[in-house]
Structure 1
Amino acid sequence: MAFIKNFLRFIIICTILGTFAVVILYFYVKPELPSVAVLKDVQLQTPMQVFTKDGQLINQFGEKKRIPVTIDQIPQDFLNAILATEDNRFYDHPGIDPIGIVRSAIVLITTGEKKQGASTITMQTARNFFLTREKAYMRKIKEIFIALHIESLMTKDEILALYLNKIELGHRAFGVGAAAQVYYGKDLEQLNLPQLAMIAGLPKAPSSLNPISNPTRAKHRRNVVLSRMLVEGYISQAQFDDASKAPITAKKHGAEIEFSSPYISEMIRADMVARFGLDGAYNNGYKVYATITAKNQAAAQKALMDNIHNYDHRHGFRGVNIYLWNSETDTAWQRNEILSYLESVNEIGYLKAAVVEQIDEQNAYAVLKNGNSITIPWDGLKWARPYISHSRQGKPPETTSDILYPGAFVWLQQNQDGQYKLSQMPDVSSAIVSINPQTGAIESLVGGYSFELSQYNRATQAKRQVGSNIKPFLYSAAIEHGYSLGSIINDAPINSWNSAQRIAWRPENSPPNYDGPIRMRRALAQSKNVVAVRLLRGIGARETVDHLLKFGFSPEDIKPHEALSLGAASLTPLEVARGMATFANGGHLIEPYFIDRIEDAEGNIVYKSQPLVVCNQCSAEEVRDSFHYAPRVISEQNAFLIADAMNTAIYGEPGWVGTGWRAKDLKRNDLSGKTGTTNDIVDTWFSGFNSQVITTVWVGFDDAGKRLGRVSYNNNLSRNQFAGGESGARTAQPAWLDYMREALRGMPSAPIEQPEGLVSVRIDRKSGLLTKKTDNSSRFEYFIKGTAPTQYTQQEVPNLFDPYTTTTDSGKTTEELF
């Protein structure tokens, strides 16, 4: 009995001392213990995702790849695999596993090494959030206390879900949702048993046991997981046998991008970093919805790339840059050598990398990067006449050997019929931007051929000379200063002597045709350069600049000199489109924007765009005093008259066509447009719109001094063929047409509505005076009330060619105009 009493006394004393030691230890480490209450409102580091307005993922930004999932979204097989491998008594213990602790202690006593940590899933969660992976006794003690706190605050399912969303699983994948995407390119519920077991085995050593870095070790670890599931009764022997023999199917996958649009997504990334900082933007799980739609953006990207390739092919084949072997002196490479080389090549845009293995008289036989053997028929080769210079091309080829030989590394395009065509990496650049003129929402934006080749966004960053795209703004200034679309301006050569510089300035029309006195409407539609110069002189350079600045242009870009009338100002495509939108919306200056809304990780809207919208029915005071309306910068009558004159640039008049006549191919009557070509054909433009969409296209070289040049006709090309110089109509407008054909599909006619304050009278198309004739020599013209002509052509009309006596209906003599 004495022994029993002493033993019980010893047990009680040890229990008291142990309890006392635990209490002392708790209070000793308590100041270092974090508050686990934050786990109830945990913010997982989730990457930012960027979507189109209609919900397609276009990019993802963040250091850590994470796709949060709820416990209900996780397959039961995966939960069983994790529990069997990491903590099979998870739902039975209070956060610490006494059996596991005893087992770990025995290992430590018998081996002297800390081989088993006895960490439960709750303890691992505590370590993942608050501690390090250091194998130290104090860390383990803290881990235990934090685990007990966690168990008191959260349910088992909440703890398990938090653990599975937080845990690192290799290749920057954090959480099981991201791991499924990274290794298999699928959602977690789409994985089979071997794949689920593979991911369940990663927590032990994600960097060395993952199937990409070490497939052999990963397969062994997967089978360990499967064997644990078999022992615990989660799977049958037959399931184990099938799953353990399954091959490794994992490979590296990126984010599940549904539609790539890198230029606009980079604009959004920069904006989000400015709003929330780098860490906040990248790790707080924001979902950003752009203003672009997938339909319009895809159309813009295709239109730009097709147009660039069409230009490139018109100017000839620049030749093969790389031959892997000399077909006359070297032994041809083996297929495995060719594929090894192609594996290192990064394919860009439409272009597919290939190596030519054989040729015959009018065919080439090549192997693609994927190992497929293909034929390049003569129809895909015959376009490739030699490029000599930007304005010279060689003779069309007659046989394949005129173009290339075996061993050639080449770029190919695949046509819609599946046939391959020889191509080349484009040298020319382009940009396209499309805006809703009523709100400023960017409908589509492409800053270049390939973001991989150049992240320079030409739509927003490239200030290039705008050429005749400046003329609508200049003509608007003329309307503001008393001119009308019926005003007569002399389309005749100008020869101005500068006595200070002792040189003569002789601006010319392009082409150098002159029609004598013509109406302003026709001069704008046919882009008459000398008329633009005379208008600027009539208005005054300073007054012209003051008017142009109303369209949102920077004073640094608009200078008061006569070359301004010919488009010497340098603007970005976005700036041009924004200015042109003023004519499309009745005279208001909209503010372009590209983010529609921002949601946080829980789906709450943290930002919603509130654009300055157009209100033509509002009074001037309402527009001026409201924070919701875009400011009016020109009168509604002025905007309508310029848009209507630009409509004539497309549809023309009897006897002549405007420079934008190709837009008639769209078979609509609601379009207005303007071409633009600079001196020496360095920059080409086309801007066109109706009341619902304005689109601007620029084409040129990044080297601002390089000319787009001229071409001779190539019978071997089918699309966009012509002979002569490149221009806004020939070079930029085709991309505009291809894009607008899709953007306008299904859109009802949306013309610019005629405002009040205008009158329409029939005038003589030659003199601009009133007429009673109803044949093709006349037309109805719009005038602001009080500016319409009062004389008829039957009355005596002064000699219109006399610059010193002729008077226009603006009240100014042509001497003043010239």
Structure 2
Amino acid sequence: MTLRWWHYTSLVVLAGGLIVTALIALVVTLIYPQLPSLDILTDYRPKIPLRIYTSDGALIGEFGEERRAVVKIKDVPPIMRQAILAAEDDRFYQHGGVDYVGVARAALANLTAGGAREGASTITMQVARNFFLSSEKTLTRKISEAMLAMKIEHSLSKDQILELYINQIYLGQRAYGFASASQLYFGKPLAQINIAEAAMLAGLPKAPSRYNPVVNPKRAKLRQQYVLRRMHELHYIKDSEFQAALQQPLHVHHDSQVAEVNADYVAELVRQSLFERYQDQIYSSGIKVYTTLRRADQEAANFALRQGVLDYDRRHGYRGAEGFIDLQHSGSLPDDALESALDDVDQVDGLIPAVVLEASPKKISAYSKNGETVEISGEGLQFAQKFLAPNSVAKTHLRRGSLIRIMSRDKGGWKISQLPQAEAAFVSADPHDGAIRAMVGGFDFNHSKFNHVTQAWRQPGSSFKPFIYSAALEKGFTPATIINDAPLSLPGANAGEAWEPKNYDGKTEGPMRLRTALTKSKNLVSVRILQSITPEYAQDYITRFGFSADRHPAYLTMALGAGSVTPMQMVAGYSIFANGGYRVQPYFIDRIVDGRGALLAQAKPVRAGVSAERTIDARNAFIMTTLMQDVVRHGTAIKAMQLGRHDLAGKTGTTNDQVDAWFCGFNANLVAVSWIGYDRPRSLGAGETGGQAALPIWMSYMGKALKNVPESQYAIPDGVSVININPENGLRVSDGGIPEYFYQEFPPATQNQWTDDVIGLPGAKSPDEIKDQLF
């Protein structure tokens, strides 16, 4: 009886086996011919985004649907490969595409757990699914996946398959591939990651959204710990390495930026320029653009502008809480609820949003957006001290639930700050060819994408005076020409009204040399100069510097910078003084290469003294440079002498009611412009002149950009004479006096006469006549 039972059982098993074999054969016969070609794998061409770099190779931005950086398997660090195998497929190098041992193990684990807890997909099967199949959970798809995996294993080596997986897998935040994810989450190349970071990345493929360290840091940490345990069990890491990795803090980037240096405004300009040329293919064809920016210059500009705006903001006091978040009547909210409350509040350039949990005049406890509960006391509270007073009843009073901004202190710890309302712009360039070296279009690109360098049309104020003075030199004025700094009343725009321009300080000083007038930025002198050369002549003359005549109406207010300019125009205009009189066009794209490294385009800028058009006389440029050197050495920009250099020249600019503050300056090899103001024009406040608000930004940048750079020399061009003059009256003297520069055709006959009629005192020919008319 037992024998018969065994006989029947054997027949059933054999029949079942034959049926299963027949079904498999049938499936293979039907499905295998339908499997796709592997050409897409053997000729792998992933979608690679547009990437933009500084001239020295630092990444400043990328644009594309997929963030991807392709890396060769030989360049993947061993610890990263081991972490991937531990997390996804530790028998990868043993199986043939389908891991039957893994399938059995997963089936047993799922049976024991009472549900589907563990999968059995190999890395090869994931490659098959990611390249060729959908993610639908059907038997047909699973069979196709297994068969395709075996086909891949027969066509490619194990290292080739792993390389495809490493580059193709989705890892959250639009990042595809581990090289891209390393840069995105940790701000470093894949070759530089440590064990803890490798385990965090290797944990992402299972569920990129669930284990994303930006979105779900706690779940990501649990997944990382699992991967580390698997690495330890597989003897990829030692006991000491395992324990160290478990304890090592991870510094995850929360802004989802992959850039090595912040230059978002330039990156966006490049994107727009490339889109006009190549349309949508720029987002997937792997084009690389190398700009003219220099990493060190851009970083110096970023710091200078940020610090300048924050310093200005602090001078004008704390405005109170940014908002209020209801934290219920008592108790404290769980971290998840606090994080949810801060979800819609963006971090702006290091100013981290935080919710006050407890507040007193001596200490604040706050939960920050980066998930940390911080305590602020002492110096960290000084900025907001009056908003912590017990008797304060203002809506912006700091209390539990107040939304504030915090930032790290140089000495460690935290301090209260606030989101600035003022905006700023900074741009620098090589005056010899117009190559942009640094550009910051605003305080924070994510907060405002309006590029104030190229898009903000603002009044330049006194920073426009050098162009008027340059026109005057062409009309026969000299640095020693005497002009009267005296009250002036002219017909106004409306009948019966008078226009009475004033100097910034409201004072007048009588007759003075043109050089002195620019050094002290005398408005009344500038108006008289323009009155003499005529606004129409000046309006035409300034077009030599790249300014539009229609934005500078031919009125006397042009002398005070009442027209409209952009910082980019100003850097181009001042470059002409710096390079000896040549017109160069600012540019920021040096070269473009395709995904295979072939050159698509190369900039061919004109160069001063070689191919650029001469737009003003070399003598004019030189004399104007000496005038602006005096502005730095003795005038409104004297603070710049703190840099300890004698080759700097420039001009401050302040408009009526301190609405716009400028400083435009240069040496022979670098020109830079800084501006600060409000998007909706209003006063920056009393005393916020170009020298107070804009010059410190310029100084901070130039101090770093010119560090260890020898001082440049300005050679006196042919046709310039050095003549001794009496500084009191501008007269030429044989002995004594001070040296002054003149065009060589400066008439010798004027040696003991006034160099010109005193502007504003027609017919005055001698000091006595001048005194009679003035006093």
- TM (norm. structure 2) is 0.78
Q: 2:534 aligns with which of 527, 537, 540?
A: 540
Q: Is the 8 A contact 1:681 1:726 kept in 2?
A: yes
1:746 shift after superposition: 1.2
Is the aligned partner of 1:281 residue 2:305?
no
2:575 is aligned to 581
What is the correspondence of 1:231-242 to structure 2 with a 5 Å cutoff? Answer: none
Is the aligned partner of 1:164 residue 2:166?
yes
1:649 shift after superposition: 1.6
2:112 is aligned to none
1:47 shift after superposition: 3.1
Is the aligned partner of 1:348 residue 2:348?
yes
Structure-1 separation of matches of 2:659 and 2:516? 25
Counterpart secondary structure, 2:176: coil
Q: 1:708 aligns with which of 665, 676, 684?
A: 684
Residues 217 and 454 (structure 1), Cα distance of their counterparts in 2 relative to 1, 3 Å cut: closer
Structure 1 counterpart of 2:417, which letter? Answer: S
1:672 is aligned to 649
1:401 shift after superposition: 6.6
1:736 is aligned to 698
Q: Is the 8 A contact 1:58 1:265 kept in 2?
A: yes
2:565 is aligned to 571
1:265 is aligned to 267
Residues 204 and 643 (structure 1), Cα distance of their counterparts in 2 relative to 1, 3 Å cut: closer
What is the correspondence of 1:612-651 to structure 2 with a 5 Å cutoff? Answer: 612-615=606-609, 618=610, 629-651=611-633
Is the aligned partner of 1:480 residue 2:474?
yes
1:3 is aligned to none
Q: Which moved more, 1:687-696 or 1:260-269?
A: 260-269
1:535 shift after superposition: 2.4
Q: 2:522 aligns with which of 518, 525, 528?
A: 528
Structure 1 counterpart of 2:617, which letter? Answer: S
Counterpart secondary structure, 2:541: helix
Q: 1:689 aligns with which of 649, 666, 679?
A: 666
Residues 466 and 58 (structure 1), Cα distance of their counterparts in 2 relative to 1, 3 Å cut: same
1:506 is aligned to 500
2:11 is aligned to none
Structure-2 separation of matches of 1:147 and 1:270? 42
Is the aligned partner of 1:56 residue 2:58?
yes
2:461 is aligned to 467
Q: 1:792 aligns with which of 738, 741, 751?
A: 751
Residues 384 and 537 (structure 1), Cα distance of their counterparts in 2 relative to 1, 3 Å cut: farther
- Structure 2 gap segments, 5+ residues each: 1-17, 105-117, 771-775
2:545 is aligned to 551
Is the aligned partner of 1:781 residue 2:755?
no
Q: 1:611 aligns with which of 597, 605, 612?
A: 605
Q: Is the 8 A contact 1:55 1:289 kept in 2?
A: yes
2:723 is aligned to 761
Structure-2 separation of matches of 1:248 and 1:739? 36
1:580 shift after superposition: 0.7
The percentage of counterpart residues that share the same residue type is 34
1:75 shift after superposition: 5.5
Residues 592 and 41 (structure 1), Cα distance of their counterparts in 2 relative to 1, 3 Å cut: farther
1:707 shift after superposition: 1.4
Structure-1 separation of matches of 2:189 and 2:289? 21
1:640 shift after superposition: 0.8
Is the aligned partner of 1:377 residue 2:378?
yes
Counterpart secondary structure, 1:494: coil
Q: Deviations over 1:20-44 (max 9, x none)?
A: x969995xx69xx66x556454321
Structure 2 counterpart of 1:611, which letter? Answer: P
1:437 is aligned to 431
Structure-1 separation of matches of 2:757 and 2:232? 102
CA RMSD of aligned residues (A): 5.0
Q: Is the 8 A contact 1:445 1:459 kept in 2?
A: yes
Is the aligned partner of 1:492 residue 2:455?
no
1:498 shift after superposition: 5.7
- Structure 1 gap segments, 5+ residues each: 1-10, 104-115, 387-396, 619-628, 653-657, 711-724, 814-818
Structure-2 separation of matches of 1:450 and 1:205? 32
What is the correspondence of 1:330-349 to structure 2 with a 5 Å cutoff? Answer: 334=332, 343-344=342-343, 345-349=345-349
Q: Deviations over 1:39-82 (max 9, x none)?
A: 45432123344333333333343322323222223456766765
Q: Deviations over 1:213-233 (max 9, x none)?
A: 798799799979998998xxx
Counterpart secondary structure, 1:267: helix
Counterpart secondary structure, 1:659: coil
Structure-1 separation of matches of 2:69 and 2:307? 36
1:789 shift after superposition: 4.8
Structure 2 counterpart of 1:357, which letter? Answer: E
Structure-1 separation of matches of 2:208 and 2:380? 52
What is the correspondence of 1:303-318 to structure 2 with a 5 Å cutoff? Answer: 303-318=304-319
Q: Is the 8 A contact 2:725 2:739 kept in 1?
A: yes
Q: Deviations over 1:82-125 (max 9, x none)?
A: 599669587886xx87999x99xxxxxxxxxxxx9999866764
Q: Which moved more, 1:267-276 or 1:299-308?
A: 267-276
Structure-2 separation of matches of 1:249 and 1:316? 36
Residues 784 and 153 (structure 1), Cα distance of their counterparts in 2 relative to 1, 3 Å cut: farther
1:192 shift after superposition: 7.8
Structure-1 separation of matches of 2:293 and 2:480? 40
1:781 shift after superposition: 1.3
Residues 598 and 508 (structure 1), Cα distance of their counterparts in 2 relative to 1, 3 Å cut: same
Structure-2 separation of matches of 1:524 and 1:540? 18
Counterpart secondary structure, 1:570: coil
Structure-2 separation of matches of 1:500 and 1:595? 48
Structure-2 separation of matches of 1:350 and 1:607? 37
Residues 143 and 431 (structure 1), Cα distance of their counterparts in 2 relative to 1, 3 Å cut: same
Count matched residues: 724
Structure 2 counterpart of 1:630, which letter? Answer: A
Q: Which moved more, 1:529-538 or 1:753-762?
A: 529-538
1:644 shift after superposition: 1.0
- TM (norm. structure 1) is 0.74
Q: Is the 8 A contact 1:431 1:573 kept in 2?
A: yes
Q: Is the 8 A contact 2:529 2:759 kept in 1?
A: no
Q: Is the 8 A contact 2:488 2:501 kept in 1?
A: yes
Q: 2:73 aligns with which of 65, 71, 74?
A: 71
Q: Which moved more, 1:297-306 or 1:193-202?
A: 193-202
Structure 2 counterpart of 1:639, which letter? Answer: A
Structure 2 counterpart of 1:349, which letter? Answer: D
Residues 145 and 589 (structure 1), Cα distance of their counterparts in 2 relative to 1, 3 Å cut: farther
Q: 2:449 aligns with which of 442, 445, 455?
A: 455
Q: Deviations over 1:498-531 (max 9, x none)?
A: 6973332222222233333332222222222222
What is the correspondence of 1:107-256 to structure 2 with a 5 Å cutoff? Answer: 125=127, 128-130=130-132, 132-133=134-135, 155-179=157-181, 254-256=256-258
Structure 1 counterpart of 2:348, which letter? Answer: I
1:281 shift after superposition: 2.7
1:272 shift after superposition: 3.5
Counterpart secondary structure, 2:551: coil
Structure-2 separation of matches of 1:236 and 1:451? 43
1:391 is aligned to none
Q: Is the 8 A contact 2:367 2:373 kept in 1?
A: yes
Residues 436 and 406 (structure 1), Cα distance of their counterparts in 2 relative to 1, 3 Å cut: same
2:12 is aligned to none
Q: Deviations over 1:465-494 (max 9, x none)?
A: 111111111111122222222223333332
Q: Deviations over 1:381-438 (max 9, x none)?
A: 278779xxxxxxxxxx999979956435444455433475543322222211111211
1:595 shift after superposition: 3.0
